[in-house]
């Protein structure tokens, strides 16, 4: 399931980050790719400890905490600090599936990548190409969003970034371990949550809302793995 967060960061704030990121110290992205991924990967990334990456990364995580769609759709247990990438002059990242596990910073154990997120800092008019293409259960989806918007998609999905043929594409990406590992189950919980919110907005009978909210929590109890 692909979901967009159209206003994760205010547009002007994201554009200010784009300006700062344009002058950052970019490294060859193949340094952080695994064996297989390095064959299809041609882009640049910021070093994990880069101060600008840390500052914007913390701001993204803070924004996620206040984003009800992200919270409801992802049910986050752990978020890996965001990483930053840059594509220009034909750079691209061919079809791949992200690693299942990553080591957390400061050796705090492993994180399982259940959900991938991409945050856009460039606007669609800034560059040609550079679409995020995700193979979803409903076919291929092509995503290119305004600065400050984000898209979330299952960590299990095959995806690519097409070559950037004009301009520069700046973005962040990160992985989240969800309380609910399975994408289908997360999507059922989200549908239930959205339906309950609608009933609340429509001032439905409180007994109906309480009953459905109970079912939501009992499904979450059945499926959530908070460890």
For residue 42, the minimal CB distance to Ni ion (Å) is 13
The pattern of x and - marking residues 55 through 94 that bind Ni ion according to CB under 5 A reads: ----------------------------------------
SS3 119: strand
Distance in angstroms (rounded) separating the CA atoms of residues 47 and 25 = 8
Phi then psi for residue 26, to 5 deg, are: -95, 140
Closer CB to Ni ion, residue 67 or residue 98? 98
For residue 156, the minimal CB distance to Ni ion (Å) is 12
Closer CB to Ni ion, residue 13 or residue 98? 98
For residue 62, the minimal CB distance to Ni ion (Å) is 24
Closer CB to Ni ion, residue 142 or residue 221? 142
Closer CB to Ni ion, residue 7 or residue 98? 98
Rounded alpha-carbon distances, angstroms, from residue 226 to 76, 88, 178: 10, 40, 9
For residue 70, the minimal CB distance to Ni ion (Å) is 18
For residue 190, the minimal CB distance to Ni ion (Å) is 22
Query: Within positions 160 to 179, which residues make up the interface with Ni ion, using CB under 5 A?
Result: none
In the numeric block, which tokens belong to residue 138? Answer: 């409903």
Contacts of 163 (CB under 8 A, 6+ apart): 87, 90, 91, 92, 129, 130
Residues in the chain: 227
Distance in angstroms (rounded) separating the CA atoms of residues 12 and 6 = 14
Q: How many residues bind Ni ion (CB under 5 A)?
A: 1
- Quick check: 40 binds Ni ion (CB under 5 A)? no
- Quick check: 2 binds Ni ion (CB under 5 A)? no
Closer CB to Ni ion, residue 98 or residue 136? 98
Between CA 96 and CA 102, with CA 99 as vertex, the angle to 5 degrees is 150
Nearest to 54 by CA among 22, 19, 17: 17
Query: Within positions 95 to 154, which residues make up the interface with Ni ion, using CB under 5 A?
Result: 98
Closer CB to Ni ion, residue 36 or residue 110? 36
Distance in angstroms (rounded) separating the CA atoms of residues 12 and 15 = 5
Nearest residue to the partner Ni ion, using Cβ: 98
Binding-site ranges for Ni ion (CB under 5 A): 98
């Amino acid at each position: 399931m692909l979901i967009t967060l159209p206003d994760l960061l205010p547009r002007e704030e994201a554009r200010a980050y784009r300006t700062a990121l344009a002058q950052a110290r970019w490294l060859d992205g193949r340094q952080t790719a695994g064996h297989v991924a390095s064959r299809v990967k041609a882009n640049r990334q910021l070093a994990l400890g880069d101060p600008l990456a840390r500052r914007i990364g913390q701001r993204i995580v803070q924004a996620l905490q206040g984003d009800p769609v992200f919270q409801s759709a992802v049910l986050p247990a752990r978020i890996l600090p965001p990483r930053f990438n840059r594509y220009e002059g034909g750079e691209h990242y061919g079809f791949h599936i992200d690693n299942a596990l990553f080591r957390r910073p400061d050796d705090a154990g492993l994180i399982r990548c259940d959900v991938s997120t991409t945050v856009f800092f460039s606007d669609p008019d800034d560059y040609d190409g550079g679409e995020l293409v995700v193979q979803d259960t409903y076919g291929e989806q092509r995503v290119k969003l305004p600065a400050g918007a984000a898209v979330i998609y299952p960590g299990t999905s095959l995806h690519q970034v097409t070559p950037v043929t004009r301009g520069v594409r700046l973005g962040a990406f990160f992985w989240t371990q969800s309380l609910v590992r399975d994408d289908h189950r997360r999507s059922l919980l989200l549908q239930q949550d959205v339906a309950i919110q609608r009933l609340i907005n429509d001032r439905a009978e409180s007994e109906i809302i309480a009953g459905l909210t109970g079912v939501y929590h009992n499904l979450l109890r059945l499926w959530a793995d908070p460890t």
